[in-house]
Structure 1
Amino acid sequence: MRPGPRNLITDVPGLHVGNAEDDRLKSGVTVLTADAPFAAGVHVMGGAPGTRETDLLAPDKLVQAVDALVLAGGSAFGLAACDGVADALRRAGRGHAVGPVRVPIVPGAICFDLLNGGDKDWEENPYPALGRRAWRDASRDFAIGSIGAGTGAMTGRLKGGLGSASAVLDSGVTVGALVVVNALGHANVDGSRHFWAAPWELDAEFGGLGLPAAFPAAAEPIPGKALGQATTIAIVATDAALDKAGLQRLATVAHDGMARALVPSHTPLDGDLVFAASTGTRDMGDDASIPFALGHAAACTLARAIARAIHAARPATGDLQACWCQMPEQEKGQRTGKCAAPTQRE
């Protein structure tokens, strides 16, 4: 297993990601779309999800393909970002054909970022416009960190963000992950610079620090946020041809990546959710080992994407949490005020 050329979910051929954010709002929207409609599934593990059209993705439901998947901040208000994306898709002539009418299929999920220091005193919901902007921005190259739906994300200890990673299997199949990390739990071990996801890191993509020499004693976790203020939402994608049932299984297995990278995860106070998507361009044939390898790769790639989100987060005016890049190597949890330039398009 090796990273794709971009180490982004868009290493899966045909996929595009767009971001839009409002720095004053400290929130934003991230859209995954494709050259053509694609199959999708979903699995929810958190106790407080916020979603749109996820029932439609069940294997027994009529529609077999979607036009986009949306990840947004804004809690329930952020679900309106899907309206903006659907409007943009309709203008582009995209959507499920029902006679002469086309209806864009745009499932989405949201995270809670309403108490992150941003200005939320709007008169008109800003998320439909952010959704339209994100869809127009869709490209194979995109930045990660404090951008899109990850703009105002926080975790139990450090600033969260938008992360992505990819892997190419020996079979040639590509797997990618896209995630908004706004978790109740922690991505770092005992407040250190070390990531829980370190065993799955490739090419020092989030610092190459490995795991600490000694681990803290097990203790009961203390929530850093209140009821309903967290959620990690993700998409895993592949070019392997999977139907909706196979994608539901892929999304289920990918949750292992959250558990590896965030401690604790899947709590009653999080709305943790994973979408799975397939462009279907690579036939797996009769090789039963490929679905097995896909599940493992999806979990590993999601864990890496979560750590990359924290690693790439950058400070902004009014932040309530420090970024990973502000942590001194020896002094845990103190701000240094020194961070590299924000992550740019690669």
Structure 2
Amino acid sequence: MKRICIIIFEMMLFYSLFCEVKLTKLYEYKNESKGIYIRSVTNTHDDITGNDIFINEYGNIMLYQRDKKQIFFIDDKYQIKKIIDIKTNTHLHTFQTVGSNILIGNYTDAFYINNDGEELFRVKIYSILNEYNGTDGNWFNACYYDEKSDIIFFTAKHNKLHCILNPTLDEKQNKSNFYTSGETQKLLEDGLYAPHLTLNEYNYLFIDGIRYRWGATAYETKKYICTLNQEMKYIRLFDRKDSNLIYYTIPENEEVESITYHPNGDWYFLTINWSTNVHTLWRIENTWDPEFREQWYNNHPEALKP
């Protein structure tokens, strides 16, 4: 009986909080639209095939297509306005917006490009690690570029965090600016180069007190933690200040491909319907802090307001 009461209470909580969520379907992308493939291979179990959605600090939306190694820039009508090709022979697994630029990584290199695809730096991480560790499994797992301190961080074997100061296109200089995991930890502890960055006892990287998730299915900001549960098919938003939970169930027959945070507090996610092979862009509007949302647009008049 006690268990039944708990379940009923949780259901009541779910539906009461669900009503607070304003969900909007923004746009549907066919698998091939006007000669543009959003997804070229439709395989639900393919680890490589997929799309990632990203929003930079100015509120601009981008889609990264893993099959074709292309970045699509989205306009105010949520249509594709520009495409750039990423020139690499290996599959990419890291994608991060930094200001108006983009950091991309495969399992060997990390490179930083502008919106025209021009490389600003490239770091041959695999090659650098080989010189220090030998050639046994030196593919890096993930990377993060901190523009404020001009340091690129990356996790490698045993998820140890390494870094390179002031990365450039010069391979020799990148090697000389390489810091091992122990040196990286000391660098962050000293706070000389990046006082806003810290490591905890589990070697997790924190940025201004917020854990960096390295592309996981949990996304954190100073105010919220957004968790995607693929198996249970829901998105959970946790308010750090009020400890409130807001849930949204993923629409039936839809599978979430990617989710990202808008600096105004909104959350965007991209789904695919495998029956129709249609991709849908959705927005969960920030109704839990509307004053912050409005103020963000007031401070960013150049941003596109939906």
Larger radius of gyration: 2
User: Considering the TM-score relative to the shorter chain, is it more than 0.5?
Assistant: no
Larger fraction in strand: 2
How does the TM-score come out when normalised to structure 1?
0.26
Q: Which has the higher contact order (CA 8 A, sep 6+)?
A: 1
How does the TM-score come out when normalised to structure 2?
0.28
